[in-house]
A = this chain, B = another copy of it.
Amino acid sequence: MAATAAQKSSDVDVLIVGAGPAGFMSATWLSNYTGLKVRFVEKRNTKVFAGQADGLQCRTLEVFQSFGMAQKALNDANHMWEICFWDPEPETGIIKRTARIPDMTPGISRFTQVVLHQGNIEQYFIDYLKEHGDNIKVERGVLPESISIDESKVDDNDAYPVKVTLRHLPEEAAEVEQFGHKVQNGLFRSANLMTEKDDDKSLNADTDVRETINCKYVIGCDGAHSWVRRQLGYKMEGEHTDYVWGVLDIVPLTDFPDIRHRCAIHSENNGSVMVIPRENGLVRLYIQLSDVERLENGMVDRSKITPEIISKCAQSIIAPYKLTYEKISWFTAYQIGQRVCNNFSANDRVFLAGDACHTHSPKAGQGMNISMMDTYNLGWKIGSVLTGRSPRNILKTYQYERRQIANDLINFDRKFAKLFSGKPGEIDLEEFQKVFAISHLFASGTGVEYDASNLIAKDPSTAPNLKEVVPPVVKAKDLAAKIPVGQRFMSYKAMNQSDARVWHLQDVMPSDGRWRFLVFAGNIKDAEQNRRVQKLGEYLARPDAFTYKYTPEGAEYNSAIQTLTVHCAPRTEVELDDFPRALRPEHDYWSLYVDDVPHHEPHTKCYEQYGVDPKRGCVVVIRPDGYVGYVGDLEDTEEVEKYFSQVLIPQRK
């Protein structure tokens, strides 16, 4: 569909296609880069009202917190603290509680997993965008019709090589049929059982307005049947299984005692149920459907699945306990499949994220989380390149880092789904419980570790796909057992030296586009260590040091790379002036922290938690997305310079 001559045309830095969680995370990140022109389009005309995804994992909450959004989610959500396993008693076949484990491994994050409706989560993003300048807004009822990349221009920073035609739908065509909203049909948005034709039906509506936009970058966050992916000709690889599951969101009436715990129930002969207690008394049930009608191609005939059928299955699995409901707010059904796209990017100009490049079963609460983490990985990279802070080659790391996670996800899900869908006689229930427990590190999102690249100063020999990206020029030292390079910087608490208040270190490093140079200064009461710290301070004060080199003339010190210091001398035995100016700029009371005993809460002993030697200390480079890029000694300033030279562009002559 070519653009007509009369068509409106404009240039934009980024076009985000699809206002689901992945799209919103993109927009949220990009709103932190001043001066960008971002368009954000969504063909549906409202946010999600019921159903869909519902779990927020630990790492996602950490990221929300970095945007100041976690508290809302924590207030509104249900918090899950325990998983109960129910299995048939060998003698009677009656289900019994056989084990309890914490829902998340204690200590892996300051947050625990919470559950609430996707519509709330989208609202937090909408509120964030509104509060932060309102320069990026979702344009609803707008969908792309054509896309083309001018490959001759993809390496030109000033070019707009992606041309997209957008169509503005008349209101009725964009209206979504949502259960409890417009129609009583929860199946509409169930991607797993939908055909691509279903999803495209709005295309038959009468059109209103078309426009052409020339884009520097496009992010396709348009779901499992991604239009962007299809235009690029990329394929999803993987297969469907035979397992069919139904989902019910209900306010239950039941005598099952663990209805407010997360439960994994394997019945003897009737299949399995996963119980996910939700906010406002709701409970989500994932129910294995034993007897469903299928189409000729082996896929489920979704038109035959009703809430009554799903509920009946649930009742037979949970018997002898009774289960009915006071209210149903959503239902759907899906056939388990695990698929990953063969490519996440075209010329590092058009990117795919979220369901557009990986789909899998929803029970482990991974989909929405990994989708948001995709664009949390991508957003700052695009923002940095567009604002001239970073070279375009960092964009290569998006596919490199996130396809690995998508593959891990699919492998995890395959194993998990098989154990969950299997019959007690056929699978090992103890193994199931073990897999559940050890899966937490992965499922929480906190176990993610990116491979070596220019962004991750690790040993290149451990990275099988290194040829896809720019390799690291330096290698981190092993100076902090609990600050693994390539993983997110875990948050522990320290006290502000200037006012004795305790902070989670993550909270002094919000997601604002800045890099962090974190100095573990050690105990400066020790003369030798003090000398080392002073020497580092002298280096950082040099006008040619990275502290200045990557900061534009006239911009504030700390505005490109924020230097933060955590020392461990006794707080009351040192004064601010004992630290070099570079670590504690004049009239700056928010850069210097101490590991000491606070007045009002227990001592978190952050040096111990991070595994940093108080006599030696270390320096840590943290990416804008919170992942550790480099760890070295206080003297390793040359290495740090090399690291930055690969990922940042000097801003001064």
Cross-interface CB contact of A71 among B75, B78, B102, B253, cutoff 8 Å? B75
Q: Please give the distance in Å from A479's CB to the nearest CB on chain B.
A: 29
Cross-interface CB contact of A260 among B75, B79, B104, B499, cutoff 8 Å? B499
Tell me which residues across on chain B come within 8 A of A128, comparing CB atoms.
Answer: none
The A99-119 residues at the B interface (CB cut-off 8 A) are 100, 102-104, 106, 112
List 16 A–B pairs whose Cβ atoms lie within 8 Å, in order of A's numbering.
Answer: A71-B71, A79-B499, A79-B501, A80-B499, A81-B599, A82-B499, A82-B500, A100-B572, A102-B599, A103-B599, A106-B600, A253-B587, A260-B498, A260-B589, A261-B498, A261-B500
In order of increasing CB-CB distance, the 7 nearest A-B pairs are A102-B599, A260-B499, A82-B500, A260-B498, A81-B500, A260-B589, A79-B501
Tell me which residues across on chain B come within 8 A of A82, comparing CB atoms.
Answer: 499-500, 599
> How does the 8 Å CB contact mask read for A57-76 relative to B, with 1 for contact and 0 for none?
00000000000100100010
Tell me which residues across on chain B come within 8 A of A502, comparing CB atoms.
Answer: 81
Tell me which residues across on chain B come within 8 A of A104, comparing CB atoms.
Answer: 600
**Interchain CA distance A79-B499 in the complex, whole Å:** 9
**Interchain CA distance A13-B496 in the complex, whole Å:** 50
The A512-547 residues at the B interface (CB cut-off 8 A) are none
**Interchain CA distance A257-B498 in the complex, whole Å:** 8
> Is A259 close to B, CB under 8 A?
yes
**Interchain CA distance A78-B501 in the complex, whole Å:** 9
Tell me which residues across on chain B come within 8 A of A498, comparing CB atoms.
Answer: 259-261
**Quick one: which of A75, A81, A102, A576 has the most chain B CB within 10 A?**
A81
Given contacts A100-B572, A587-B253, contact A81 B600 (CB under 8 A): yes
**Interchain CA distance A257-B326 in the complex, whole Å:** 62
**Interchain CA distance A81-B259 in the complex, whole Å:** 42
> How does the 8 Å CB contact mask read for A585-607 relative to B, with 1 for contact and 0 for none?
00101000000001110100000
Q: Please give the distance in Å from A179's CB to the nearest CB on chain B.
A: 23
**Interchain CA distance A502-B257 in the complex, whole Å:** 18
Q: Is the CB of B257 within 8 A of A81?
A: no
Tell me which residues across on chain B come within 8 A of A200, comparing CB atoms.
Answer: none
Q: Please give the distance in Å from A85's CB to the nearest CB on chain B.
A: 13
Interface size on A, as a range, is 35 or more
Residues of chain A at the chain B interface (Cβ within 8 Å) = 68, 71, 75, 78-82, 100, 102-104, 106, 112, 252-254, 257, 259-261, 277, 326, 496, 498-502, 572, 575-577, 587, 589, 598-600, 602
Chain copies in complex: 2
Q: Is the CB of B501 within 8 A of A81?
A: yes
Q: Write the chain B residue with the least CB distance to A503.
A: B79
Q: Write the chain B residue with the least CB distance to A112.
A: B600
Cross-interface CB contact of A499 among B81, B106, B253, cutoff 8 Å? B81
Tell me which residues across on chain B come within 8 A of A261, comparing CB atoms.
Answer: 498-500
Q: Is the CB of B257 within 8 A of A577?
A: yes
Q: Write the chain B residue with the least CB distance to A262.
A: B499
Tell me which residues across on chain B come within 8 A of A254, comparing CB atoms.
Answer: 587
Q: Is the CB of B600 within 8 A of A257?
A: no
**Interchain CA distance A274-B104 in the complex, whole Å:** 47
Cross-interface CB contact of A599 among B71, B106, B252, cutoff 8 Å? B106
Tell me which residues across on chain B come within 8 A of A600, comparing CB atoms.
Answer: 81, 102, 104, 106, 112
Q: Is the CB of B598 within 8 A of A81?
A: yes
**Interchain CA distance A575-B104 in the complex, whole Å:** 23
**Interchain CA distance A533-B207 in the complex, whole Å:** 69
Tell me which residues across on chain B come within 8 A of A71, comparing CB atoms.
Answer: 71, 75
Q: Please give the distance in Å from A571's CB to the nearest CB on chain B.
A: 10
Besides the known contacts A102-B600, A112-B600, 8 further A-B residue pairs in the complex with CB atoms under 8 A apart = A71-B71, A80-B499, A81-B600, A253-B587, A260-B496, A260-B498, A261-B498, A261-B499
Q: Please give the distance in Å from A572's CB to the nearest CB on chain B.
A: 6
Q: Please give the distance in Å from A441's CB to the nearest CB on chain B.
A: 15
**Interchain CA distance A71-B72 in the complex, whole Å:** 9
Q: Is the CB of A277 within 8 A of B575?
A: no
Q: Is the CB of A277 within 8 A of B79?
A: no
